[in-house]
A and B are shown apart, each in its own frame.
Chain A
């Protein structure tokens, strides 16, 4: 109970918000809009899973938004050229993995701080994309949207797919030796090395995994509309990091899990519809997001201070 205090408290807050919505804005729970909302968040959930791993490993990646845009546009261009969908998906995941590997090499190989490395790759990728694409949308062939299925079937596919990734990664992180190694490196890299783990490899691989998941998420976003926007991933990094931190993953590494990140993501996802239903202007969303991040880290800090002797 005490060990999972953070996860439980986020879940409780989420339930409270949902209860509030049920009382004050029951329209929120109509099945079709709710399914659309959950579908829009499905790619974010996938990226959040990868980000949770990176943060547990005591690193951070703020270039995921740019990676997301690059993978989305890349996939769109390939699909527009008539590549079959499975190949396009493979290419997007591969491209994401390569972008993640670049970050991973700079961080793990050269031992540079991840925040500055990914700040640089974020801007390099974004401006490179702007230069190549000049803000133009990519039109997709007909059969790509919703994988050629009906809309609700496609939405269910995306939601179930993201939940499957969450479950697989969550269980692997909890029960697999490789998952435990991520925690070990995040809590104390030197101790992990002495225990026979290779911290630099683990760090490299979590960045590659995050890149691959971002590529997958980009595809899941691409199939939701008939066009690909080059700005699709703008601000994604903040949303994802906020979800992970609110969900109780410690930014100092080594603590937290994916279920908490999931609850954090759902809580943040409720902010925007809640604002709409409560007739508050949507411009407040970013400020509220920032305030929630600060609140979460302050709560962590206060708890840690109290537990100190």
Chain B
């Protein structure tokens, strides 16, 4: 939702897809607050309703949120990147290795890791734009390659730990009342929002996703713009890797496994069209929040605690949610084609 299309004031504000998402998020939060908050024997409130839990949700949603932000421009150009989760794992390992084995100070290691992430994104970009290969198969290949390299470097066993407290501060402490990584996340979110909604680049992403040939004829540097989206995704995945390492205090090869699914779900749920040409960063943020609250809230429900299956149920619901969001996104098209069919017959 970039350019204001509908002139009517209240309609424009309230009948937007983002408002629907926001209402769903609010309802979900209230539901968990009601069913997931209990008082234990000592009279202390535990469960969903505590402030600690809210900070926890923020902390846990940062990495997936960053990946979702990275994927939003890519999906707007009608591309896809399945390799971001694997790249997170590879960058976490390399960051740990640079610091632990390479003896670099943390800032230098972090800078190098960001560079490596951008280079890895550049590999995707080069193959996709240089040779005109389908993004799906290229990033499926790098999905396997990046994770495989992470496993090969660590021999599937080494984890890097013992990071200094000044670094763990980024992932575990608060600054100005909020978790530190939430500030970083807000910074990236603002940057991506500006890029997608307030610059020529964002406009060209949408043009390319709508019709790459049309964009080329309009004189846009299609290849360079697509490449930018993938390099940016690599850079953001590397940042997510550093935050992940700071939150857990360890870097291991399976970091970020399966995150690409949650990220893609958040983007699609947020109203970005998987066919490209349309999308919003605000929607993505709401999608991330919806998934993060669901994941965290489920773990506080008594029935889920009894089953001891929070991970499974949240995965199951996220998959189902993605299917529902996809089906919902094509429903208007199908209904209108049915109507046309009836009129014609």
Are B145 and A287 in touch, CB under 8 angstroms? yes
Are B133 and A297 in touch, CB under 8 angstroms? yes
A106 CA to B318 CA, complexed, in Å: 17
Q: Hey, which bits of chain B sit against chain A, CB under 8 A?
A: 80, 127, 131-134, 136-138, 140-149, 151-152, 154-156, 258, 261, 264-265, 268, 274-275, 307, 309, 311-313, 315-316, 318-320, 322-323, 326-327, 330, 334
Shortest distance between the CB of A210 and any CB in chain B (Å): 17
Which residues of A have CB within 8 Å of B138?
294, 297
Which residues of B have CB within 8 Å of A288?
148
A23 at the interface (CB under 8 A from B): no
A238 CA to B326 CA, complexed, in Å: 24
Which residues of B have CB within 8 Å of A126?
315
Which among A113, A120, A123, A290 is the interface contact of B142 at CB below 8 angstroms?
Answer: A290
Which residues of B have CB within 8 Å of A60?
136
A117 CA to B325 CA, complexed, in Å: 11
A22 at the interface (CB under 8 A from B): no
Shortest distance between the CB of A152 and any CB in chain B (Å): 33
What 12 new A-B contacts, CB under 8 Å, besides A285-B148, A297-B127? A106-B323, A115-B80, A121-B323, A124-B319, A287-B148, A290-B141, A291-B141, A293-B137, A293-B140, A297-B137, A300-B133, A301-B131
Q: List 24 A-B contacts (CB under 8 A).
A: A110-B326, A110-B330, A111-B330, A112-B326, A112-B327, A112-B330, A119-B264, A120-B265, A120-B319, A127-B312, A127-B313, A130-B311, A131-B313, A286-B148, A287-B145, A289-B148, A290-B143, A290-B145, A293-B145, A294-B138, A294-B145, A298-B131, A300-B133, A301-B132
Which residues of A have CB within 8 Å of B311?
127, 130
Which among A120, A283, A300, A305 is the interface contact of B156 at CB below 8 angstroms?
Answer: A283
Binary contact readout A41-66 vs B (1 if CB under 8 angstroms, 0 otherwise): 00000000000000000001000000
Shortest distance between the CB of A101 and any CB in chain B (Å): 15
Are B319 and A127 in touch, CB under 8 angstroms? yes
Shortest distance between the CB of B7 and any CB in chain A (Å): 32
Are B145 and A119 in touch, CB under 8 angstroms? no
Which residues of B have CB within 8 Å of A130?
309, 311-312, 315
Residue on B nearest A134 in the bound complex, by CB? B309
A127 CA to B261 CA, complexed, in Å: 13
Binary contact readout A195-217 vs B (1 if CB under 8 angstroms, 0 otherwise): 00000000000000000000000
Nearest first, the 9 A-B pairs at minimum CB distance are: A287-B148, A290-B145, A286-B148, A290-B144, A124-B319, A301-B131, A127-B315, A293-B141, A123-B319
Residue on B nearest A288 in the bound complex, by CB? B148
A128 CA to B80 CA, complexed, in Å: 26
A251 at the interface (CB under 8 A from B): yes
Supposing A123-B315, A131-B316, A302-B131 touch, asked if A238 and B136 sit within 8 A by C-beta, the answer is no
Are A251 and B137 in touch, CB under 8 angstroms? yes
Residue on B nearest A111 in the bound complex, by CB? B330
A252 at the interface (CB under 8 A from B): yes
Residue on B nearest A296 in the bound complex, by CB? B141
Which residues of B have CB within 8 Å of A300?
133
Supposing A112-B326, A116-B264, A238-B144 touch, asked if A121 and B319 sit within 8 A by C-beta, the answer is yes
Which residues of A have CB within 8 Å of B330?
110-112
Residue on A nearest B329 in the bound complex, by CB? A112
Which residues of A have CB within 8 Å of B307?
131
Which among A127, A287, A298 is the interface contact of B133 at CB below 8 angstroms?
Answer: A298
Are A116 and B144 in touch, CB under 8 angstroms? no
A286 CA to B138 CA, complexed, in Å: 15
Chain A interface residue number, banded: 35 or more
Which residues of B have CB within 8 Å of A245?
137
Residues 264 to 309 of chain A near chain B (Cβ within 8 Å): 281, 283-291, 293-294, 297-298, 300-302, 304-305
Supposing A124-B316, A293-B140 touch, asked if A116 and B148 sit within 8 A by C-beta, the answer is no
A251 CA to B145 CA, complexed, in Å: 18
Are A131 and B152 in touch, CB under 8 angstroms? no
A263 at the interface (CB under 8 A from B): no
Which residues of A have CB within 8 Å of B316?
123-124, 127-128, 131
A122 CA to B318 CA, complexed, in Å: 11
Residue on A nearest B308 in the bound complex, by CB? A134
Which residues of A have CB within 8 Å of B320?
120, 124
A98 CA to B34 CA, complexed, in Å: 39
Binary contact readout A107-145 vs B (1 if CB under 8 angstroms, 0 otherwise): 000111101110111111011101100100000000000
A258 CA to B131 CA, complexed, in Å: 25
- Most A CB within 10 A of own CB, among B140, B148, B309: B140
A241 at the interface (CB under 8 A from B): yes
Are A116 and B156 in touch, CB under 8 angstroms? no
Which residues of A have CB within 8 Å of B312?
127-128, 130-131
Which residues of B have CB within 8 Å of A304?
132
A115 CA to B260 CA, complexed, in Å: 13
A241 CA to B140 CA, complexed, in Å: 9
A297 CA to B141 CA, complexed, in Å: 9
A126 CA to B151 CA, complexed, in Å: 23
Shortest distance between the CB of B277 and any CB in chain A (Å): 14
Are B140 and A238 in touch, CB under 8 angstroms? yes
A113 CA to B307 CA, complexed, in Å: 34
Shortest distance between the CB of A123 and any CB in chain B (Å): 4
Are A123 and B313 in touch, CB under 8 angstroms? no
Which residues of B have CB within 8 Å of A120?
261, 265, 319-320, 322-323, 326
Residue on B nearest A285 in the bound complex, by CB? B148
A130 CA to B144 CA, complexed, in Å: 23
Supposing A281-B155, A297-B133, A297-B138 touch, asked if A123 and B318 sit within 8 A by C-beta, the answer is yes
